[in-house]
């Protein structure tokens, strides 16, 4: 299991094998294997053309130049020009193939991570910071793309170039050639030390980038709270601390790379100096021709770029390795809630809607005590059951078990006698409609938000759902149902968001309706209208409601009292009110109002976003 650091799980064991997780991504290369082979062939051919140029120069110096042969000079000069043109064409082909294949790989990995995130349960997202996930799907993938498209190719290409050049140098002059080959030993030692330290620095920086992204995301979402409490300077200081830590890590990485790059420059340049002196002596003694010396030095100069780029390639590889570690931390998390091998689907027409909790217990991962204990409760088809209890006793948790946002720790929940874990998730969630107390609206149009669970709904069905939820205000928005509601739906009031969420839940015509205090943000008048409309819908639907207001309890046929994770009383509202003191105490409590401020109290000039997502200015 992964360890956790600052709320972010990390795989400590990967430090010993820094390239392990990067190697595991190799299957994303397979669909692009043909393109990669072509670009590698083009790259090697371009390298071959560049290596041939010094050999042509040798022939020019020792041949036409030494013999004063203008015709031969023109022929060999033309050959060198053709080699240069061929190299340029091959480089163009390589870059074109690189770009298309690398972007395709990045898109495939991103799609797989996004799909995997959707399969992971709510508990996973509760534990992980949003910014950490965002940084993995964006910046980490960009790092891997750069390595797979450029770093990996140049690593192979530079190694081939180095070996080929050394072989040619040994053939030209064995002693000097072996001297150049020996320079690989200090380069290897420098590379090994650099890679070890740079890997740790890369991981630290990428984690800090996720922390900073989380701070920005939280500030954007909590902007109203921040302004209301005047805590801008404190949050700015917190962000500055995170940004400073990220800056310091980035500077330390740059210094490490700069020192290593200097050493990579030093080794070939020292070797070149020795070769120039020794080569001049050899040429003076007749052991080398002038053309061979020129070719030798020209070939050795071709090693400077591969050696100089070695630091960048290793740095890019280490960054890609740590990025792969972070991505695999997500992909290695197995979805805890999946379809069973024998899972079946149910059609809405054949479902009566009998919902039963049989000895249900639930414990959140990592907590010592269960939230729910031995829940036995049955909701008959077409019945509405209200769940009442003090704050924190597990009412919302109990409701979340029905659509399998969490799975029971013990016992089972059945729908028409079928254990919900034996139903296909897609089928179960079509049959169960949910509206949360804190509804989530996406940055899309009102219509798209409403039809999220029922994309085939027509205009009449949408109008009926909006009328039931008393959400006809949606037609009065600047672009009607095409109006974009903005991120989190924050361009709307809390009551408007709740009513749209309720309309979305009933639009799907579910067999079971699960409502988590869906009217808490409504004023008394609107609540009464919504309740009157809900009564008509609930006649034909099995419903489980979490309620806090006595007026909402009146919607229910029966009421269940939840205390300390157990159902302690079940009956009609009037009977429980008369016989259960704890029930009376819960309903008589007067919690602080959660109603939003009236529209006129909200910031002037703020209207829902238009179809392009931009805010409007009130005229």
Class of the CATH domain delimited by 19-331: mainly alpha
Fold entry, domain 353-435+507-601: Rossmann fold (3.40.50)
pLDDT of residue 600: 32
User: Among positive and negative, which fits the CA dihedral 529, 535, 537, 543?
Assistant: positive
Closest-CA residue to 55 (of 154, 165, 181): 165
Mean pLDDT by 10 residues, the chain (619 residues): 44 56 83 76 76 70 64 68 74 69 82 89 81 84 82 81 85 85 87 83 85 79 71 82 88 87 85 85 80 80 80 84 88 88 85 93 88 94 91 90 93 94 92 83 88 88 89 90 78 82 85 82 73 76 85 85 93 91 81 37 38 37
Q: What ranges make up the beta strands (E) of 74-137?
A: none
Measured between its terminal Cα atoms, the distance across the chain in Å is 57
Q: Where are the beta strands (DSSP E) in 78-172?
A: none
Domain ranges of the chain: 19-331, 353-435+507-601
At 402 the pLDDT is 94
Distances (CA, A) of 227 to 194, 220, 238: 46, 11, 16
> Quick one: pLDDT at residue 39?
74
pLDDT for the residue numbered 607: 40
Distances (CA, A) of 166 to 189, 190, 266, 568: 19, 20, 18, 84
Sequence-distant (6+) residues with CB within 8 A of 322 are: 18, 199, 202, 203, 206
Q: Residue holding tokens 């998390």?
A: 333
Q: Where are the beta strands (DSSP E) in 267-409?
A: 355-362, 372-379, 384-388
What is the C-alpha to C-alpha distance for residues 403 and 432, in angstroms, rounded to an integer? 6
Residue listed under structure tokens 């993995």: 136
Q: How far apart are CA 389 and CA 392, in angstroms?
A: 8
User: Going along 6-103, which residue ranges are E strands?
Assistant: 8-10
Spatial distance between the Cα atoms of 599 and 580, rounded to a whole number of angstroms: 40
**Cβ 474 vs Cβ 500: under 8 Å:** yes
């Amino acid at each position: 299991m992964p360890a956790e650091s600052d709320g972010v799980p990390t795989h400590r064991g990967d430090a010993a094998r820094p390239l392990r997780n990067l190697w595991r991504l190799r299957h994303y290369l397979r669909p692009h294997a043909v393109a990669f082979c072509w670009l590698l062939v083009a790259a090697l051919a371009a390298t071959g053309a560049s290596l041939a140029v010094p050999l042509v120069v040798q022939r020019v110096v020792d041949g036409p130049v030494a013999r004063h042969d203008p015709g031969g000079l023109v022929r060999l000069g033309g050959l060198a020009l053709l080699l240069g043109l061929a190299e340029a064409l091959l480089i163009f082909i390589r870059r074109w193939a690189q770009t298309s294949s690398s972007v395709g790989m990045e898109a495939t990995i991103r799609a797989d991570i996004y799909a995997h995130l959707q399969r992971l349960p709510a508990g996973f997202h509760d534990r992980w910071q949003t910014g950490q996930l965002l940084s993995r799907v964006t910046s980490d993938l960009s790092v891997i793309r750069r390595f797979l498209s450029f770093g990996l190719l140049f690593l192979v290409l530079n190694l081939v170039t180095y070996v080929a050049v050394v072989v040619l140098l040994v053939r030209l002059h064995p002693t000097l050639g072996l001297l150049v080959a020996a320079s690989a030993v200090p380069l290897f030692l420098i590379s090994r030390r650099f890679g070890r330290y740079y890997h740790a620095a890369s991981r630290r920086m990428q984690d800090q980038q996720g922390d900073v992204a989380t701070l920005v995301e939280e500030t954007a979402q909590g902007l109203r709270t921040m302004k209301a409490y005047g805590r801008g300077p404190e949050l700015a200081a917190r962000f500055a601390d995170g940004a400073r830590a990220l800056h310091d890590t980035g500077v330390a990485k740059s210094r490490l790379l700069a020192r290593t790059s200097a050493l990579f420059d030093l080794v070939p340049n020292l070797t070149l100096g020795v070769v120039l002196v020794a080569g001049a002596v050899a040429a003076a003694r007749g052991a080398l021709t002038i053309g061979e010396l020129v070719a030798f030095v020209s070939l050795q100069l071709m090693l400077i770029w591969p050696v100089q780029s070695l630091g960048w390639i290793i740095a890019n590889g280490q960054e890609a390795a740590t990025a792969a570690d972070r991505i695999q931390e997500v992909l290695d998390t197995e979805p805890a809630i999946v379809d069973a091998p024998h899972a079946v689907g149910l059609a809405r027409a054949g479902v009566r809607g009998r919902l039963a909790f049989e000895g249900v217990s639930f414990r959140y991962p990592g907590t010592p005590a269960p939230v729910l204990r031995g829940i036995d409760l049955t909701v008959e088809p077409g019945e509405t059951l209200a769940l009442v209890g003090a704050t924190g006793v597990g009412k919302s948790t109990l409701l979340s078990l029905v659509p399998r946002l969490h799975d029971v720790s013990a016992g089972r929940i059945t729908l028409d006698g079928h254990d919900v874990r034996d139903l296909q998730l897609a089928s179960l969630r079509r049959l169960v409609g949910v509206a949360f107390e804190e509804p989530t609206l996406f940055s899309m149009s009102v219509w798209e938000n409403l039809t999220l669970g029922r994309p085939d709904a027509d205009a009449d069905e949408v109008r009926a759902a909006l009328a039931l939820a008393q959400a006809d205000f949606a037609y009065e928005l600047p672009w009607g149902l095409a109006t974009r509601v903005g991120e989190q739906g924050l361009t709307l009031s809390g009551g408007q968001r709740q009513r749209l969420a309720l309309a979305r839940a009933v639009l799907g015509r579910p067999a079971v309706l699960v409502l988590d205090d869906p009217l808490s943000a409504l004023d008394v008048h609107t609540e009464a209208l919504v309740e009157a409309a809900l009564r008509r819908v609930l006649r034909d639907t099995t419903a489980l409601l979490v309620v806090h207001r006595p007026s909402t309890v009146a919607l229910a046929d029966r009421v269940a009292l939840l205390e300390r994770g157990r159902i302690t009383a079940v009956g009609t509202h009037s009977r429980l009110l008369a016989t259960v003191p704890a029930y009376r105490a819960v309903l008589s409590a007067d919690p602080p109002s959660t109603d939003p401020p009236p529209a006129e109290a909200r910031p002037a000039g703020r209207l829902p976003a238009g179809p392009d997502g931009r805010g409007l200015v009130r005229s």
